[in-house]
């Protein structure tokens, strides 16, 4: 069976975008807004060098909410592949959930099994690629990513900070990532260390600062 590093898209691979029309920071709505975060290509190259599949699993409800079309989403995805490719990096696959329970478009309005925090996208990928989920990894910047990863037994790395409100939200949801990192590249460094025996990872432990203060 294969092993994979699953990647959330927005906030892990590409920058989030401030949209003045909707008054919030959100996913890119057109290809020109899609900008890779620093060192993402290097991170993807290292994932492949470690022998893992690199697979994106992302909630993309923009079509359901009437923000953009399927054609625009396809073009954004093409730009992601192109921009990575220019730096000799390649994703193995991309899985999107297009649904939303409050979608303005009826055909997308459903409580599906693929919208994170449910693990449907991971399970779809596992069936297609014959992936052993319990020996795979999930790198994401949201609690829904950690919940989805936990549901299939993957090792979860959260891309973010140790801000108090973030820690409180994890505790409120009764879930913790295995490791807290600042970027995809740092996540891949941690994965490499785990694969080589797990030495020197205390500083990346989600619970490390809490234990240090006790």
Instruction: Return the active site residues.
Output: 8, 10
From first CA to last CA, the distance across the chain in angstroms is 42
């Amino acid at each position: 069976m294969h092993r994979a590093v699953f990647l959330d898209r927005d906030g892990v691979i590409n920058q989030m975008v401030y949209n003045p029309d909707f008054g919030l920071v959100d996913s890119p709505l057109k290809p020109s807004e899609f900008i890779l975060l620093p060192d993402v290509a290097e991170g993807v190259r290292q994932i492949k060098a470690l022998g893992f599949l690199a697979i994106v699993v992302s909630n993309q409800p923009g079509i359901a909410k009437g923000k953009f079309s399927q054609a625009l989403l396809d073009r954004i995805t093409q730009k992601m592949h192109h921009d990575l490719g220019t730096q000799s990096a390649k994703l193995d696959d991309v899985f999107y959930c297009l649904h939303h329970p409050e979608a303005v478009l009826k055909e997308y309005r459903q409580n599906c099994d693929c919208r994170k925090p449910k693990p449907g996208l991971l399970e779809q990928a596992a069936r297609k690629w014959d992936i052993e989920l319990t020996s795979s990894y999930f790198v994401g910047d949201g609690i829904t990513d950690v919940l989805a990863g936990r549901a299939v037994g993957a090792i979860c790395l959260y891309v973010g900070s140790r801000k108090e409100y973030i820690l409180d939200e994890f505790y409120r949801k009764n879930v913790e990532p295995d490791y807290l990192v600042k970027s995809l590249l740092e996540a891949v460094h941690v994965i490499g260390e785990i694969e080589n025996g797990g030495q020197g990872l205390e500083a990346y432990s989600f619970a490390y600062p809490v234990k240090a203060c006790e």
